[in-house]
Structure 1
């Protein structure tokens, strides 16, 4: 279930336990994201935020619970099948191919209905024939985001989009993501270490610690309660 007024869930994670081999990282995690909504996963390093995204993409072992995209379970599906179901994932390392050009990245992932990335990011249009490995960090993150959006996803998972980038680039990327979600119906689940930045652009958030959801609320509620949350759940 989503928050009141958020609409039906595009992505619904219920009672999720997941990890790697015998190591269980997540325990009974329940999270939902509606169309046009940006939801943040917050918490310290090792809390299970990235593992939540990897479980949705079929890259972490699920031992209990369910993950549903548009009402259909993703359990036991391989990552490439999940991607075809219109779930896109931008990992923290961006996972670009250094030897491929901007144009080649976009053509590999483009689907009918996908975003015109070169219009969204004119910087990439000027560098369309350059290899990804020689782009600046900001340009690489634009390409990672653009490649995902070119695939016309229903749900987008974003892991640490601000990492290593100048504040002006970060604001540009998050502003673009918010506008796209609002206009296209895209549902976004994002992991972000910079709490106040995440809550500026999200509508809701979940706080993870020790592999469990400790609290949740609207962005405004979590922002107001953050000193208490840090003391009660994050041990700060």
Structure 2
């Protein structure tokens, strides 16, 4: 629950904050009364929070599973059971990732572009030093969300070996893949001890070890 709420709540709230920042700067009259503030500020944020609680409590209830934890890898190889469902993974990819990231990027860029156009229309000299801090802040937000909050749809459970062994992207280890790789390695060890016949060949075993220790192939 913590994993789902923190990662998805955060992106949705920041996406709405990007829209609201645009409204406050260019349409401040929309929030001139208490009624308008409730409608355009408090209700959307409350809706996002309630939506997250209901959705993720339901998902966690119906998509529960037995997890294996490994003390030797990052986050003990934790992976959310919710992503065992391909349909839910695609749903989250669209609503919890791509949509929010596009909203943040588009609203931030429109804010900067409209500010420049407004200065030009009013024949005012644009003071880049004055607005540089805002531009850097907005572009940094876009960059951070593209790096850390773009989720990747992963099929969990009995995935093909090539999917599990996908190398780390952008220097960030794929936590779900590492957990599955560690579990498969443990199954290989158990069968080898029981029957003296491993499940995996030498090359597959080497790749699994690379994934578990977050190394490039």
Provide the TM-score with structure 2 as the length reference: 0.24
Query: Which structure's relative contact order is higher, taking Cα pairs within 8 Å and 6+ residues apart?
Result: 1
Q: Which has the higher helix share?
A: 2
Q: Please say which structure displays the higher CA radius of gyration.
A: 2
